[in-house]
C-alpha cells in the first residue's frame, strides 16, 4: 500500500492567511481557530498546491489577499509549500503565483500582465506538464479527492458512486444470481443465450407486439363475419342434388335438341314423349324438393341452435382464458405481497435493533483532556442523542407504515381479483351448463329431422306421376300414324335447354354463397386458433417477465450485501422499488437506515471517513484527510490515513495540536 503523509505545510500570502506553518509527524493533527481565521483555507491551499484548485474542486477562485474593499493587495504573491513522506521518501512541492509587470517600449509606467505560476519539486523548477505528471504518478487526482475529503464521494453523481462501489465489490454474473435462488432455475432456459437485461427488452418488445395482435383479432373476425353472403333457406346439400338433377335434364334436353335437328317430320311426337319423360324427371325433382322444404323449418331450427351453441362455445373459451389470466395476476400479486412483507419485517427488525441502542456514556468525556464534560454540555449531548435516536425510530416507523399501506393496497387488489375470479368461475359454470343443454337440444332437432325423413311420401304414388305416365301412353298410341313438321320441336327443345341452364345458373350461384360462407368460417376458426396461441405465448412471456423481476430483486439483495460488507458504518441503497412495481437504479448512502442527506454533521463526517477507509483498502493508497467542522464530532472514526481535523474554537489565530 502506498502511504502519503503530510509533515509540513507552509502558507504565505494565501487568501486571508499572511503566514502559517504546520509541522507534524503525528497521524492525527488538530488545527484550532475561530471562524474566519483560515481553517478551510488550509485545505484550499493544500489542493491548490497539488492541482491548482480549491477544496471544492473550483479552478477559478481568488488565492490572493484582499483589502477591506475586496480588492487585491498588489505585491503580495500567494506561496504554498508542503513536504510529504511518500512511502517514507521525502518529497517537497512548491507553488507560487507571481505578478507579471512589463514596461512596454516607449512608456514610462509598467503594466500588469496575467500572473504566472512557478512550480518546484524538491526545489527544482518544473514546467506545468512536468509538475502534473509527477503528482499523477504519486496519486490520481480523482482518487486523491475521494481519499482526502469525507464529503467528496457522496457529493459525486450517483452513477459515479455506483461505478466505484461495483468496482470495489467485484462483478456479479447472471449465472451467480440464478444459482443463488433455486426458483430462478427455469430462467436459464428462457434466456435463450441472452443476458437478463437484453432478454427483458426482448420480452417487453414481444409482449407489446402480441398484445397489439390480440387486440386486432376481434376486428378481423368481425370483418370475416360481415363478408358472409345471405343465403336462401334451402340447404347446400339440397341445392347440390337439384343441380345434379338439372344436369341430367340438361343432358336429355340437349339430346332432344340434337335429335330434332337431325330427324324428319315425324319426330315431334317422339320429342313430345321425350319431353314428357324429362318432365317426369323434373316433377320428381320438384316433388323431392317440396319434401325437403317440409324439413327446412327444422333445418333452420337446427342451424339456429348450432349458431347458439357456437356463440356459447366462444363465450366459454373467452371465460376460460379470463379465469386463467386472473389466476396469473393473483399469483403475481401474492409474490409482491410476500416481498413487501419481507421488507416490512426487515424494517421491524431494524426498529427493534435501534430501540435497544443506548446513550454512550463515554461521549461525556473530553476526547482531548480525558476529563468529564460540564453537566450542561452532557445534557446537550444527551438531548442531541435522544433527538437523533427518536428521529431514526420515526424514520423506520414511517417506512414501515409505507410498506404496511402497500401490503393493504396489494391485499385489497387481491380481494378484488378474487371476487372477479369467483364471478368468472360462476359464469364458467353457467356457460358449461348452457353448452350441455344446447347440445342436448340440437340432438333432439336432429332426431326429429330423421323421423320426418322416414315419413316423406313417394313420388310414384302421386297424382302428377300418374298424369304424365298417361300422357306418355297416349303419345305411344299416336306415334304410328303421326306426321308433322319438326321446326316447332326444335324451337321447343332449344327453349327447354335455355330454361334448364337458367335454373342451373341460379342454383350454382346459391351453392357458391355457401362455399363463401365456409371459407369465412374456416378463416374465423383460424383467427380464433391464432388468438389462443398468441395468448399462450403472452402467458409464457409473462412467466419470463416475472422470473426476470425476481432475478432483479435477488441481484439487488446480493449486490447490496456484497458492497455493504466492505463498510463498517455505512450501507448503500442501490435500488428503489416504485409503487407501480418497477425498480429504479440509484445510489444512496445510509447510516442505520437513515439517508446521508438526513444525517447531522457529525454522522456525515464519520460516514465519509468510513467510506474513505474502504477506498484506501481498494485503491491501496492513503493520503492526509482534512476534516472540516470537526468540533461537531464527539468521537471521530479512526482511519488508516493521517487526519487533519479543523476545529472551531475561540482562538483568534490558528493553533496546531497533535493528538
Q: Which residues contact 345 (CB under 8 A, 6 or more apart)?
A: none
CB 146 within 8 A of CB 609: no
CA atoms in the 13 A half-sphere facing the CB of 570: 31
Fold type of domain 2-156+600-658: Rossmann fold (3.40.50)
Round to whole Å and give the CA distance between 583 and 551.
Answer: 12
Mean pLDDT (the chain, rounded):
85
Nearest 10 degrees: Cα torsion 211, 216, 221, 226: 170
Q: How many helices (H) and strands (E) does the chain have?
A: 14, 14
Mean pLDDT over 621-648 rounds to 92
Pairing of strands 111-121, 124-126: antiparallel
State what percent of residues in the chain have pLDDT above 90: 31
Round to whole Å and give the CA distance between 175 and 188.
Answer: 8
CA distances from 139 to 134, 186, 273, 420, 522 (A): 9, 48, 123, 65, 77
- Containing 621, the helix (H) or strand (E) segment is strand 621-622
Residue 538 in this model has a pLDDT that exceeds 80: yes
How many of the other CB atoms lie within 10 Å of CB of 98? 12
Query: Among 370-374, 560-564, 606-610, where is mean pLDDT lowest?
Result: 370-374
Domain ranges of the chain: 2-156+600-658
Q: Is the pTM of this model over 0.75?
A: no
Give 110's strand partners.
none
- Containing 255, the helix (H) or strand (E) segment is helix 236-262
Q: For 408-463, how does the pLDDT look when each residue is reduced to its tens digit (9 = 90+)? A: 998 899 899 999 989 999 998 998 998 889 888 888 888 877 777 666 667 677 78
CA distances from 357 to 389, 395, 434, 461, 607 (A): 8, 15, 68, 112, 18
pLDDT at 146: 94
Mean pLDDT over 595-606 rounds to 93
pLDDT at 7: 94
Query: Among 76-90, 230-244, 512-526, 604-618, where is mean pLDDT lowest?
Result: 230-244
Q: For 61-117, how does the pLDDT look when each residue is reduced to its tens digit (9 = 90+)? A: 888 888 787 788 887 899 999 999 999 999 999 999 998 888 777 777 788 888 889
- Who wins on pLDDT, 630 or 304? 630
Round to whole Å and give the CA distance between 358 and 388.
Answer: 12
CA atoms in the 13 A half-sphere facing the CB of 75: 1
Amino acid at each position: 500500500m502506498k502511504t502519503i503523509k503530510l509533515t509540513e505545510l507552509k502558507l504565505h500570502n494565501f487568501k486571508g492567511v499572511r503566514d502559517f506553518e504546520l509541522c507534524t509527524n503525528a497521524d492525527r493533527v488538530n488545527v484550532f481557530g475561530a471562524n474566519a481565521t483560515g481553517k478551510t483555507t488550509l485545505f484550499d491551499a493544500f489542493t491548490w498546491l497539488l492541482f491548482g484548485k480549491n477544496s471544492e474542486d473550483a479552478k477559478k477562485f481568488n488565492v490572493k489577499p484582499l483589502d477591506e474593499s475586496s480588492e487585491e493587495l498588489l505585491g503580495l504573491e500567494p506561496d504554498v509549500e508542503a513536504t510529504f513522506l511518500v512511502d517514507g521518501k521525502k518529497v517537497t512541492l512548491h507553488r507560487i503565483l507571481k505578478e507579471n509587470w512589463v514596461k512596454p517600449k516607449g512608456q514610462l509606467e509598467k503594466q500588469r500582465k496575467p500572473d504566472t505560476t512557478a512550480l518546484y519539486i524538491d526545489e527544482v523548477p518544473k514546467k506545468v506538464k512536468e509538475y502534473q505528471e509527477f503528482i499523477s504518478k504519486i496519486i490520481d487526482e480523482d482518487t486523491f479527492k475521494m481519499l482526502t475529503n469525507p464529503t467528496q464521494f457522496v457529493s459525486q453523481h450517483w452513477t459515479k458512486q455506483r461505478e466505484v462501489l461495483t468496482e470495489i465489490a467485484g462483478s456479479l454474473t447472471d449465472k451467480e444470481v440464478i444459482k443463488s435462488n433455486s426458483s430462478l432455475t427455469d430462467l436459464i432456459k428462457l434466456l435463450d443465450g441472452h443476458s437478463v437485461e437484453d432478454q427483458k427488452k426482448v420480452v417487453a418488445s414481444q409482449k407489446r407486439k402480441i398484445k397489439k395482435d390480440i387486440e386486432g383479432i376481434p376486428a378481423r373476425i368481425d370483418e370475416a363475419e360481415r363478408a358472409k353472403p345471405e343465403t336462401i333457406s334451402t340447404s347446400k346439400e339440397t341445392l347440390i342434388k337439384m343441380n345434379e338433377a338439372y344436369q341430367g335434364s340438361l343432358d336429355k334436353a340437349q339430346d332432344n335438341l340434337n335429335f330434332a335437328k337431325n330427324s324428319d317430320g315425324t319426330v315431334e311426337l317422339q320429342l313430345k314423349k321425350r319431353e314428357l319423360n324429362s318432365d317426369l324427371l323434373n316433377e320428381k325433382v320438384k316433388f323431392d324438393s317440396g319434401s325437403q322444404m317440409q324439413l327446412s323449418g327444422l333445418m333452420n331450427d337446427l342451424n339456429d341452435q348450432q349458431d347458439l351453441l357456437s356463440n356459447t362455445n366462444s363465450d366459454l373459451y373467452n371465460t376460460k382464458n379470463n379465469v386463467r389470466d386472473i389466476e396469473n395476476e393473483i399469483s403475481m400479486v401474492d409474490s409482491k405481497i410476500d416481498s413487501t412483507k419481507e421488507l416490512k419485517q426487515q424494517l421491524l427488525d431494524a426498529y427493534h435493533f435501534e430501540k435497544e441502542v443506548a446513550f454512550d456514556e463515554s461521549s461525556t468525556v473530553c476526547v482531548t483532556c480525558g476529563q468529564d464534560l460540564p453537566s450542561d454540555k452532557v445534557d446537550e449531548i444527551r438531548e442531541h442523542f435522544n433527538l437523533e435516536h427518536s428521529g431514526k425510530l420515526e424514520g423506520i416507523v414511517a417506512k414501515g407504515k409505507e410498506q404496511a399501506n402497500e401490503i393493504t393496497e396489494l391485499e385489497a387488489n387481491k380481494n378484488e381479483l378474487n371476487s372477479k375470479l369467483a364471478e368468472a368461475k360462476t359464469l364458467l359454470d353457467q356457460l358449461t351448463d348452457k353448452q350441455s343443454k344446447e347440445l342436448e337440444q340440437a340432438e333432439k332437432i336432429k332426431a326429429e329431422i330423421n323421423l320426418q325423413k322416414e315419413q316423406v311420401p313417394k313420388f310414384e304414388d302421386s297424382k302428377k306421376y300418374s298424369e304424365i305416365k298417361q300422357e306418355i301412353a297416349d303419345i305411344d298410341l299416336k306415334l304410328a300414324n303421326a306426321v308433322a313438321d319438326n321446326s316447332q320441336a326444335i324451337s321447343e327443345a332449344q327453349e327447354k335447354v335455355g330454361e334448364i341452364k337458367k335454373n342451373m345458373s341460379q342454383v350454382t350461384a346459391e351453392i357458391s354463397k355457401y362455399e363463401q360462407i365456409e371459407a369465412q368460417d374456416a378463416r374465423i376458426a383460424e383467427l380464433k386458433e391464432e388468438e389462443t396461441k398468441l395468448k399462450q405465448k403472452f402467458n409464457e412471456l409473462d412467466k419470463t417477465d416475472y422470473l426476470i423481476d425476481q432475478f432483479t430483486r435477488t441481484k439487488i439483495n446480493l449486490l447490496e450485501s456484497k458492497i455493504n460488507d466492505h463498510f463498517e458504518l455505512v450501507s448503500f441503497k442501490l435500488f428503489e422499488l416504485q409503487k407501480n412495481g418497477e425498480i429504479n437504479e440509484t445510489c444512496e448512502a445510509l447510516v442505520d437506515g437513515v439517508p446521508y442527506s438526513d444525517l447531522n454533521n457529525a454522522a456525515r463526517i464519520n460516514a465519509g471517513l468510513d467510506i474513505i477507509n474502504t477506498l484506501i483498502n481498494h485503491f491501496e493508497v492513503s493520503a492526509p484527510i482534512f476534516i472540516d467542522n470537526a468540533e461537531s464530532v464527539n468521537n471521530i472514526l479512526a482511519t488508516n490515513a493521517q487526519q487533519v481535523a479543523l476545529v472551531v474554537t475561540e482562538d483568534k489565530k490558528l493553533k496546531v495540536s497533535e493528538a
